[in-house]
Amino acid sequence: MIQIPAKSPQAKEVIVLVEKLQAYFVSKLDAASLRFGEEKCFEAVSWLRDEGRHGGGTRYESRDASVFDSASVNVSQIHYDDDEAKKLGSATALSTIIHPNNPHAPSMHMHISWTQMKEGRGYWRVMADLNPSLIDESSKDKEAFLVALKKVAGVHYEEGIAQGERYFYIPVLGRHRGVSHFYLEEFNSGDFEADKTFVLAIGQSVIECYMTMAADKLLAYPTFSHEEKMRQLDYHTLYLFQVLTLDRGTTSGLLVHDQNDIGIMGSIPSHINRDLLASWIEKMPSPQDLLLKSLLEVLPQTMPTPVNQETKKALATAVRRHYAGFPEALSMQASGESIPPTVANHH
């Protein structure tokens, strides 16, 4: 079985771009393992969509637990060139989340994708967000991340920040997932080559900024306390909560098919605090309280609560079952678009 690539000329160009970014980032992460950890390189794991007929992807997963709590750098390309019933032509994406083991080093998420319809219309999604566990240490990192984004995003900076702030807000907790959020939804300036250069520059800038930031933290804080690790555990709980109850990208990926659950759930940290997660049930609007209850049912009872591959598959199944029963609840997920005042007040 082989992975058949998309036929679209633009999709062919984008897969080269995201694979270039993937290789660049993995090389930087491997260097971090060499410098700070056990010299264990990321390992490639491939998957196929419909046995490769409709594409697939490769993700690089961390193997150095001394440096990374969990980390993956995913590239995928899905297409429906042989299915006339589908309006979607192809979707090509880089999606990565890094959760360091050291709580002083912040987590980082980035997503760059090109989606193209068969009638020709296409658009980019560009996301980058900084997610520290120890908020009181994050002011300089937040500023550095935003400065790097502003320099490369230019005239699109304000729009990206505004959409990011809306998308990564968690209404029931009254806070954001991270401290710096950038998101461009359905971005297309009309100049494909210029946009390619633009998103590549954003990807490279975010990677360079984050790796410098992470290295500085690991040098400044070679050790950490139990209390700091527990604060990280609570933050990782918040991260899982946002991803599985609000993140539109994660949910849509899980609902389309079940052939890459582990890859899609690569953003989930290795452990969480299930008691803290359970305490948020009463804050959830109906029927999302039922979603949170179903997630808790498949999580182990131990503390800290491990989230291994078997549990990730069970969580993915729980998400699919919930939205099969409550499809209207999809409208309650995060959006980068402006929120109508009535909706904002309701939350």
- pLDDT digits 0-9 by tens, 315-341: 999 999 999 999 999 999 987 664 332
**341-347 long-range contacts, CB within 8 A, separation 24+:** 347/171, 347/172, 347/285
16/14 Cα distance (integer angstroms): 5
Q: 136-158 burial, b for 16+ CB within 10 Å, e for fewer?
A: ebbeebbebbbebbeebbeebbe
Say if CB 74 and CB 57 are below 8 A apart: yes
Helix axis angle, 248-256 relative to 309-325, nearest 10°? 90
Looking at residue 337, what is its pLDDT? 62
Looking at residue 336, what is its pLDDT? 64
Q: Which domains does the chain have, with CATH numbers?
A: 9-225 (3.40.1500.10)
* Higher-pLDDT residue of 246, 339: 246
**pLDDT tens, residue by residue, 31-61:** 999 999 999 999 999 999 999 999 999 999 9
Looking at residue 169, what is its pLDDT? 97
Looking at residue 334, what is its pLDDT? 87
Say if CB 96 and CB 126 are below 8 A apart: no
pLDDT(288) > 50 = yes
**pLDDT tens, residue by residue, 88-121:** 999 999 999 999 999 999 999 999 999 999 998 9
Looking at residue 340, what is its pLDDT? 32
Residue 266 Cα distances to 94, 125, 164, 176, 307, angstroms? 12, 19, 21, 20, 11
* Higher-pLDDT residue of 111, 342: 111
Q: What percent of the chain has pLDDT over 90?
A: 94
Can you tell me the mean pLDDT for 237-262?
A: 94
Looking at residue 338, what is its pLDDT? 46
Looking at residue 199, what is its pLDDT? 98
Q: Which of 38, 21, 207 is nearest to 114 (CA)?
A: 21
**pLDDT tens, residue by residue, 211-237:** 999 999 999 999 999 999 999 999 999
The chain-wide mean pLDDT, for the chain, equals: 95
Q: What percent of the chain has pLDDT over 70?
A: 97
Its pTM stands at 0.94
pLDDT(280) > 70 = yes
Looking at residue 345, what is its pLDDT? 27
Looking at residue 153, what is its pLDDT? 98
**pLDDT tens, residue by residue, 298-310:** 999 999 999 999 9
